[in-house]
Amino acid sequence: MPPKIQQSKAAKAAAAMAGGKKSKKKWSKGKNAKDKAQHAVILDQEKYDRIMKDVPTFRYVSVSVLVDRLKIGGSMARVALRQLEREGIIKPVLNHSKQQIYTRASASE
């Protein structure tokens, strides 16, 4: 092996400065913003008819089920559940302060 050639101070300094040029690794790829759901907050005749037609066919009825399937807001879903229970279309299975679960009234009576 040939002997190593001694570098000058300027060459060493240039080599040291060039060594740190690589950019740092980015761990975050950016946030994937979820699209905001556009659920109805005002009950019109079309939504009312759909609630009255579809909900009696659901085996499991809760606020989250109505919000997900009918694309309505949570407060409207709670009001609809109370109305359907008063009319006898659905019956309560569990009535907790945080979660109300209902089933269709005709099922397993």
* pLDDT the model gives residue 19: 65
* pLDDT the model gives residue 22: 65
As a whole number of angstroms, the distance between CA 6 and CA 103 comes to 86
Q: What is the pLDDT of residues 38-97, one digit of tens each?
A: 888 888 899 999 999 999 999 999 999 999 999 999 999 999 999 999 999 999 999 888
pTM of the model: 0.63
Residue 18 or 78, more confident: 78
* pLDDT the model gives residue 74: 92
Look at residues 74, 80, 81 and name the one whose alpha carbon lies nearest to residue 37.
Answer: 74
* CATH number given to 45-104: 1.10.10.10
Domain ranges of the chain: 45-104
CA-to-CA separations, 7 to 4, 10, 11, 20, 104, in angstroms, rounded: 9, 8, 6, 19, 87
